[in-house]
Structure 1
């Protein structure tokens, strides 16, 4: 049915036109969408803003492309979990869990083509391209219909929202330790190693 349009059409010569459902189109051309470009790669997505059939469905999907050396900014989602499918390449992952026993639990691992990675709601996580020569492509499914990164709290914004003296006290270091950290930065989303 490669020729079938989102709102009806033909599936080929002589094929009948499927009936219209009265609903928004059910086909979305993810690869044809304009990517959001970042320093270390790009992000393409389908959400309720650009794929109306998702409105109220609590679902969205994104294709994250990380160039060699690319890093998805460390972040968490306060209202959504995410399921990540490695389409191509190799990813290094870190997921920081809670500490009910007094110890933080870091899950650090490598995921390869065909692997699934689940990041639970609210857990701090990130992934990076493990290769210095090959790109990484990850298909990400969220249980929210909002546009990414609208349900995303990144480490850069988080650290910039905290006064330097509070950061210093939290880390147990002099305030001067944070002197080189820029205080006003645009959202990062995807970056790269320098």
Structure 2
């Protein structure tokens, strides 16, 4: 029998029949109607209240914006302007600093590597950034490496009687200029067929080809100071003879040298705790009985030696240049100088060296080099340098002990600005004949109608640029 009071809905819940539901609704209707009327009034009240609150908030916001617009913008603009100016100035200073130290290294302020017999300072590239002692050094090192300059420079100080021990360089030729003192040099070539020894004094040049074993001993009463250039822009790789000896197994060393006592003699050598790269034992007098050695013949010596201070002076109105360089056919060189010229030319990646003296207020006029990077070291005086390349141009001052670098093709000038003459040693990354072009030369060589079109000036105006009988490479006002 069906029960109309219960019907199953789709969700399984029970429901009343339609008639009963209608009856209940009719019974309860007075209460529901009263409740519905009260609810409607409450809703109207809440809507009105909400509208008034919103209106009030909008009014307050409008007033705040109007007040802010009248009083704040000027100060806000001022703050933003000051902030932008500071940021712009900071970036400009940082940018200028970055550019400057791509071409400048304060070598005398760099880290000093001290040894018993002397010291070394470097302007060089390092693979590990932590090996640099300053950000400025790192910028210079990165610059000469990125430009593939094939040049590294350092100063070598050797105390009187001290010795830069026999060694060789894996990846670079070495060319040096003696700034102070006197030294005795030894060079051993392939097969030890020839041992070349000679003395050098201040102002003279030395040359050691890659992988040639050599030593430098200070023989005067004063310390020696060398400025050394190496033909690599990577980290210099060097091996000292004592390091090789102590790294060789004792039995192998004994078999090679065949000393009296054999391996027992080899074991009498004791490795010092201190690095012996620049050596000066306290008991040197006890160790050496005779220091005599036969001087090598001139035709052997001049392969590794050049008397730069005694060479020809190329005089200009504003200064003097002297060269230790290669000349095709030995033009302008004497017999001994020709030997040196051919020697540096027959080895790959050698350097050209020269000294440049600029009188007070003199100018090495703007110029550039076709086939070489240039690196220099200030010996005396001070100068202003300017560089124009593919990047932003820059200028800065240099003083004694500073190293500067001009990448190949960049136009540059050097102006002496001190009361004393500016005197520098220059190195160029070529063992061939140096190729250079000065500003006055390329202006005079360019057709005047081309210059007129380029500079938007009348053709006859360029007749105001004079030609001189004397070369103006280094000139005075």
The verdict on a shared fold, with TM-score over 0.5 as the criterion, is yes
Q: Deviations over 1:85-142 (max 9, x none)?
A: 111111110110115xxxxx211111111111100001111111012x2100011000
In 1, the alpha carbon distance for the partners of 2:358 and 2:186 equals 30
Bigger helix fraction: 2
* Aligned with 2:370 (options 50, 66, 78): 78
In 2, the alpha carbon distance for the partners of 1:157 and 1:186 equals 12
Change (3 A) 1:146 1:192: farther
User: Does the CA contact (< 8 Å) of 2:316 and 2:470 recur in 1?
Assistant: no
| Counterpart position of 1:38 | 316
User: Does the CA contact (< 8 Å) of 2:354 and 2:425 recur in 1?
Assistant: yes
Q: How does 1:1-194 map onto structure 2 within 5 Å?
A: 2=183, 8=197, 15-17=292-294, 24-49=302-327, 50=337, 51-52=340-341, 53-57=343-347, 58-98=350-390, 105-131=392-418, 133-147=419-433, 150-182=434-466, 187-193=471-477
Q: Deviations over 1:53-104 (max 9, x none)?
A: 21234311010000111111210001100001111111110110115xxxxx
In 1, the alpha carbon distance for the partners of 2:393 and 2:389 equals 6
TM-score, normalization: structure 1? 0.82
Residue 158 (structure 1) shift: 0.3
Gap regions ≥5 residues in structure 2: 1-181, 188-195, 200-216, 220-289, 328-336
Gap regions ≥5 residues in structure 1: 100-104
Residue 24 (structure 1) shift: 4.3
In 1, the alpha carbon distance for the partners of 2:467 and 2:291 equals 63
Q: Deviations over 1:141-180 (max 9, x none)?
A: 0011245xx4111111100111111112211222232121
Q: SS where residue 61 of structure 1 aligns?
A: strand
In 1, the alpha carbon distance for the partners of 2:376 and 2:291 equals 40
User: Does the CA contact (< 8 Å) of 1:156 and 1:185 recur in 2?
Assistant: no
Larger radius of gyration: 2
Task: Provide the aligned C-alpha RMSD in A.
Answer: 2.9
In 2, the alpha carbon distance for the partners of 1:36 and 1:146 equals 19
User: Does the CA contact (< 8 Å) of 1:160 and 1:184 recur in 2?
Assistant: no
User: Does the CA contact (< 8 Å) of 1:82 and 1:119 recur in 2?
Assistant: yes
Residue 181 (structure 1) shift: 1.1
TM-score, normalization: structure 2? 0.35
In 2, the alpha carbon distance for the partners of 1:88 and 1:146 equals 28
User: Does the CA contact (< 8 Å) of 2:198 and 2:296 recur in 1?
Assistant: no
In 1, the alpha carbon distance for the partners of 2:369 and 2:198 equals 39
In 2, the alpha carbon distance for the partners of 1:185 and 1:19 equals 45
| Counterpart position of 1:102 | none
